[in-house]
Amino acid sequence: MIEILSTGGLTTVQDAGRRGYRRFGVGIGGPLDSLAATIGNLMLGNDPEAAFLEVIIFPLKLRLRQAARIAVTGSDAQVEVDGQRFPPWWSVPVQPGQVVTLRAPANGGVAYVCVSGGIDVPPMLGSRSTDLKAGFGGFHGRTLRKGDVLDVLPGMHAHGSRRFGVLPPCAGLPMPREGDGNASSATIVRVLPAAQWDCFSEAVRNEFLTVTWQITPDSNRIGLRLSGPEIKPVQGMELLSHGIIPGVIQIPPHGQPIVMQCDAQTAGGYPKLATVIAADMWRLAQTPIGGKLRFQCVDMEEALAANRQVRDYVARVQRAMELLY
């Protein structure tokens, strides 16, 4: 069991996501950074669908009531076990009664605490993910609070003593290159043109791709709201509601883009300017509130090549874990 001693307020139980129900208006959910969550479960020999904790606001403090192995991935949050510090992207054994603390990261956004076996909450619609909008799934359909106790499923490697880490994606994957060759503190995120791309003038599209956008404090698991110049189509548009997926960049009437996230609604009527490629969704998740973004337009061939690089990275980690275990 895991006892929550304190939390920053936006810690939830998630898993790989709830798929197959979008036609009923139920979103995918799951982790903001699916790559980090996947690696965390791989480091423990867990089932790919095993549930974990997603931490958005820090600090988090929890106590293990049983022997287990944990892996903390995602941001570079400071990890402590009974006061002993460990690097992020590291797997360590935890004994009954020991306290695990995650402190605010210097870099990055969301963090994941995976535990051997996975968090045991009742599956709903085929997933253990928390849907905060609808109030179901996860732990009673809500964020975790002080005093909550979570069950843990039996894990294959819960009692090993080995400590090890993996190379994080920011070091193990090629970084998108700046188109103008200038260094920037902004996160570069690659996009594909979306359905209404041609409804915006070339000048507006170029501005969208060349300015630096800032993530505003009213962002959440539904969408990242960006601050920058007004982006508007050539003519006012009235669209019927149409399908929305995570990564779609919508342009509401006020002209400030919204990048849809994993808890986004399943349909919407705002123009869709672009879509973040799947291989860069983790970069988006690891850009904190107040952080800066720049978008880089790529073609389908480049997007598929980036996906292959991510799959190769995951495969390398998987092979390493097979050798360890």
Q: What is the pLDDT of residues 51-61, one digit of tens each?
A: 999 999 999 99
pLDDT recorded at residue 156: 77
- In this structure, are 36 and 69 located in the same domain? yes
- In this structure, are 201 and 148 located in the same domain? no
List the CATH number of the domain containing 221.
2.40.100.10
Sign of CA pseudo-dihedral 126, 264, 145, 59: positive
For the stretch 228-264, pLDDT in tens is 999 999 987 778 888 899 999 999 999 999 999 999 9
- In this structure, are 193 and 136 located in the same domain? no
- Residue 180 lies inside a defined structural domain of this protein: no
For the stretch 108-152, pLDDT in tens is 899 999 999 999 999 999 999 999 999 999 999 999 999 999 999
Domain that holds residue 273: 187-313
pLDDT recorded at residue 106: 86
pLDDT recorded at residue 183: 45
- In this structure, are 162 and 222 located in the same domain? no
pLDDT recorded at residue 278: 97
Closest-CA residue to 217 (of 13, 104, 102, 56): 56
- In this structure, are 194 and 160 located in the same domain? no
For residue 180, pLDDT over 60 is answered with: no
- Residue 181 lies inside a defined structural domain of this protein: no
- Work out the pLDDT band at 182, boundaries 50, 70, 90: very low
Mean pLDDT of 262-288: 94
- In this structure, are 97 and 197 located in the same domain? no
* Number of domains within the chain: 2
- In this structure, are 196 and 75 located in the same domain? no
For residue 210, pLDDT over 60 is answered with: yes
Peptide bond into 93 cis (omega under 30): no
pLDDT recorded at residue 269: 87
179 or 79: which leads in pLDDT: 79
- In this structure, are 280 and 304 located in the same domain? yes
- In this structure, are 84 and 206 located in the same domain? no
- Residue 179 lies inside a defined structural domain of this protein: no
